[in-house]
Amino acid sequence: MSTISVLGLVLLILMVLVGGKAGAQSFLALILNFGLLYLAIVLVAFQFSPLIVTLVVGMLVLALTIFMSSGDDLSSTVAFIASAVVLVMLIILIVPVEHWALVQGFGPEDSEDLEGLSVLVGVNFVQVTTATAILSTLGAIAEAAMAISAGLSEILEQHPQVALKALLGDGIAVGKQIIGTTFNTLFFGFFGGFLALFIWFTGVHYSVGEILNDKIFVSEILMILFAMVSVILTVPITTWVMTRAVAGQRKRAMKDTSK
Amino acid sequence: MQFFKTKKGRWWTWVLAILVGGLLVWGTQHDAAIYSDPIMQVTSVDTGAATKETDDFHNVDRQTKQTLHGKILNGTYKGQRLTVTNTYSRSGAVDQRYHVGSQLFVVVHAHSATHLTASAKDVKRDTPLVFMIWLVVGLLLLIMQFSGFMAFLSVAANGILFLIAILLNGSTQGAQVLWIFGSLSVVFATLTLWLVLGANRQMLITLATTLGGTALALVTALLVFHFTHEKGMYYESMQYVTQLPRPLFLAETLLGSLGAVMDESTDIISSLFALKRERPELSATQIFKSGRQIGSTIMGPLINVLFFIFVADTFPMAMLYLKNGNSWGYTFSMNMSMGVVQSLISGIGIVLAVPLASFLASRFMAKKVTA
């Protein structure tokens, strides 16, 4: 058996042992997410517009991740709507910044890997790089939205009549708790991935100016910064969506009692 | 610090952040003087006719040659007018189109005192970089206030440590990469948790879980590597590798999972401490059960976070492979398999941290939790 399948099997067994049915479900979501990511690449290779593919695949990934994890209906729905809003806002931010920074495709550090490959493939790489940046933040958006909405729905459970304005403050408070650790997940996740690149820079003795303007470096740092922006935005947006949802529920409850 | 927490203090910090940031962004547009490489600002562009290109795999692309006229902004040739040519393709995988106003790094060839020619090297990218950093810091201060500042501080502190470790790794020619980053992880985790939680029992339990979970994941991975003889591990597919790939891969995985395991153990253990504070009568077994409950809801999304970070990054190269007539399987092996292995190992760490956090919290939590 190959290493990947054994590791996958170990992960599946551990997830079932620790989380039971929820663990198995999360594992299935992970596999499906991989399928969706690969599908996105194949679709773009078949000349579908990278941005539209990313938007559709992104929504599907968010829905899968959020609805396949255990959580009550209200918090899952709120998390999904909020993360979808964040996704759209993120696209609006990433598209112009990627055009501005000109970090698409590959840099001089990639030339060895590109040997023997044709690079004139007729796919818009500005859009491909934009898609990459968006896809790499999807997990973080879903996680943050779920954490905030779960925290808020717990508060609602304990104090069902909490004022909407107080709920807004609570959301930010929950956000403050998670932001530090989420940033660290992002930081270590991304820096773990870029370790080889950074070692390259010091090994080849790039100057600070060269590093700060290097295509690959700027592209990778922008990805971390986009992820951070999306996590920060998730906090107020999820809180706001939650207050709208609760306001709607209360209105309906009022109507029912007045009938 | 106290001033920072008052309303007026916050307002001033925010105004200051906007002003300083705006000044920095503006500054990067006019900082050519601090670069030693000559920088040319494009003042006019002549665009040639596009030519159609078809490669061996019937991919159709268009290439266009543009002539850029501009002025050197810095160095010995400051003020000289120059003309450079640039070829860009519609796909733009390794080239780019320049516009009026673009600032380019150029290589100047001086044939005589008056006759200069130049070629374009790359575009200047520090302005968008600084702009995005400014945006992140501004948003953090606006929405998260003091906590945002602390979060940023811990990221900045870790960034500096990371840089030191890389320099250390360079000075040992990469022979000790796993040891350097292994011991660095301990420092990273201690520093971060101390900044987030302060020095107390909760922080010690979280630290023990973080280090234990990450270490267990690596040991499991090494065991699996041993028994499967690393079948299907394509170390040669790793990008930018300048030293022995295997220890480098393990160091990357170690760092990648550390943050997520830390995130998770912080969440579980702080919830358990809060629970104990509210209901001191709960027994160790009940605490353990609650911990498992909390952990199993957050582990899935966390594994997803790392999965997307590790694997989405390979999108452009995987696409290029597909466009060059490679099969789906080969494209996966050569581009994504190492990222998937990393996500799986980190996933194992994230899952193992759940019982570990619950166990340590249930045993070593003080009988009465205060504050």
Please report whether residue A153 resides in a domain. yes
- Residue B79, phi-psi category: left (phi > 0), alpha (psi -120 to 50), beta (remainder): left
| Owning domain of residue A252 | 33-258
Instruction: Return the CATH fold of B172-364.
Output: Multidrug efflux transporter AcrB transmembrane fold (1.20.1640)
The 10s digit of each residue's pLDDT in A119-129 is: 999 999 999 99
Decide if A127 contacts A106 (C-beta within 8 A): no
What CATH number matches the domain at B32-124, 3.30.1660, 2.40.50, 2.60.120, 3.30.360? 2.40.50
Tokens standing for residue B356: 């570990």
Helix (H) or strand (E) holding A62: helix A50-67
**Cβ of B263 and A181 within 8 Å?**
yes
The band of A181, judged by pLDDT with boundaries at 50, 70 and 90, is confident
A162 CA: distance to closest CA in chain B (Å): 19
| pLDDT at position B7 | 74
Please report whether residue A210 resides in a domain. yes
Please tell me the number of Cα atoms within 13 Å of B357 on its side-chain side.
Answer: 35
Q: What are phi and psi of B31, to 5 degrees?
A: -100, 15
Q: Which residues pair with B107 in a beta bridge?
A: B119
Domain extent listing, chain B:
32-124, 172-364
Please report whether residue A26 resides in a domain. no
Q: What are phi and psi of B38, to 5 degrees?
A: -65, 140
**Cβ of B323 and A105 within 8 Å?**
no
Q: What are phi and psi of B119, to 5 degrees?
A: -130, 145
Cβ contacts below 8 Å, chain A against chain B, sum to 410
On whether any CB of chain B is under 8 Å from the CB of A24, the answer is no
In this structure, the number of other CB atoms found within 10 A of the CB of residue B280 comes to: 10
Name which residue leads in pLDDT, A161 or A28. A28
Nearest to B267 among A181, A192, A209 (CB): A181
The band of A259, judged by pLDDT with boundaries at 50, 70 and 90, is low
Please report whether residue A4 resides in a domain. no
- Our count of domains for chain A comes to 1
Q: Please list every residue in chain B whose beta carbon sits closer than 8 Å to the beta carbon of residue A120.
A: 53, 55, 59, 61, 63, 89, 91, 93
On whether any CB of chain A is under 8 Å from the CB of B148, the answer is yes
What ipTM describes this predicted complex?
0.93
**Closest C-alpha among B308, B332, B186 to residue B254:** B186
In this structure, the number of other CB atoms found within 10 A of the CB of residue B38 comes to: 22
Per-residue tens of pLDDT for chain B, all 371 residues: 455 567 777 788 788 888 998 999 999 999 999 998 899 999 999 999 999 999 889 899 999 999 999 999 998 888 889 999 999 999 999 999 999 999 999 998 888 777 788 889 999 999 999 999 999 988 988 888 777 778 888 888 899 999 999 988 888 877 889 999 999 999 989 998 988 888 899 999 999 999 999 999 999 999 999 999 999 899 988 989 888 899 999 999 999 999 999 999 999 999 999 898 888 888 999 999 999 999 998 999 999 999 999 999 999 999 999 999 999 999 999 999 999 999 999 999 999 999 999 999 999 887 665 54
Tokens standing for residue B125: 């990218």
Tell me the C-alpha distance between B339 and B307, whole Å: 8
Please report whether residue A162 resides in a domain. yes
Residue A70 has pLDDT above 80, yes or no: no
Tell me the C-alpha distance between B19 and A128, whole Å: 34
